[in-house]
Amino acid sequence: MIGKLKGTVDEIAEDYCVVDVHGVGYVAYCSARTLAALAGPGEAVVLFIETYVREDMIRLYGFKTTLEREWFRLLQNNVQGVGAKVALAILSTLAPADLANAIALRDIAMVSRAPGVGRKVAERIVTELKNKAPAYAGEAAGTIGLKQELGEGVAPAPIADAVSALVNLGYSRDIAANAVSAALKTAGEDADSSKLIRFGLKELAR
C-alpha cells in the first residue's frame, strides 16, 4: 500500500495530478483545494495517499494534509451514500476545520454546498459525524465542543446568551462562537453572560 508520495509535479489536471517519483509517474486524484495548493510542474510536492485496490483497478487519492485524508476516510466509512467522489467534492468545498464547524453547528446548508450533496446526504453527514467532528477539527478543535453544544441547544445559558447577543450585533454564529470560546478562557467558566459579551467584544476588536 502507498501511504505517501514525495517527488515533483509532472502534471496537474482537473481532478488529478501526476507525481514523478524517481522517474515513475503516479496518478493521484485530489480535491480541488489540494490541486490549487500545488506548485507548477517540476516543483517539489508531498502528498499523503489513500490507496484503493479493486479487482479491476488500483487508484490513488492524494491529500495535502493527513487531516484531509482522515476526513476522506471518515466520510466514506461512517455516512451511507458517501463514496470517494462525494467525499472529494465535500473536501473541495470545505476545509477540514470548516467542515467540523458546520457539523458542530448542524449547518446543513453549508455542508450541502458541495456538488452532488443534497439535503438528505448533508443531514446524514451532520447526524452521523456530530460526535466525531471535534477529533477531526485540527487547530480549531478547542472551539468545536462549544459549537456542538450551541448547535444542539445544550450550552449553559450564559454562553448561549452571549453568543446570541453577538449574533444580534451582526456577527455570524461561527464568529460569535469563536469569540465566546476565547472569552471563556479569559473570563473563566463561571462568568455570566454580560462578562462573556464584554470579553467577546474585546476579542472581536483585536
- Which pLDDT does position 144 carry in this prediction? 63
Same domain, yes or no, for 87 and 38? no
Same domain, yes or no, for 122 and 97? yes
**CA atoms 89, 75, 138, 169: torsion sign:** positive
Q: What is the DSSP letter of 153?
A: T
Q: Is residue 149 part of a domain?
A: no
Q: Which domain holds residue 194?
A: 155-205
Q: What's the CA gap between 60 and 147, in Å, rounded?
A: 34
> Which residue stretches of the chain have pLDDT < 50?
none
Same domain, yes or no, for 118 and 167? no
Our count of domains for the chain comes to 3
Same domain, yes or no, for 46 and 87? no
Last residue of a domain, one of 94, 114, 141: 141
Same domain, yes or no, for 78 and 96? yes
Q: What's the CA gap between 21 and 10, in Å, rounded?
A: 10
Q: What's the CA gap between 148 and 106, in Å, rounded?
A: 8
Q: Is residue 108 part of a domain?
A: yes
Last residue of a domain, one of 63, 81, 105: 63
CATH classification at residue 98: 1.10.150.20
Same domain, yes or no, for 50 and 73? no
- Which pLDDT does position 7 carry in this prediction? 97
Q: Is residue 121 part of a domain?
A: yes
Same domain, yes or no, for 73 and 116? yes
Q: Is residue 12 part of a domain?
A: yes
Q: Is residue 146 part of a domain?
A: no
- Which pLDDT does position 173 carry in this prediction? 76
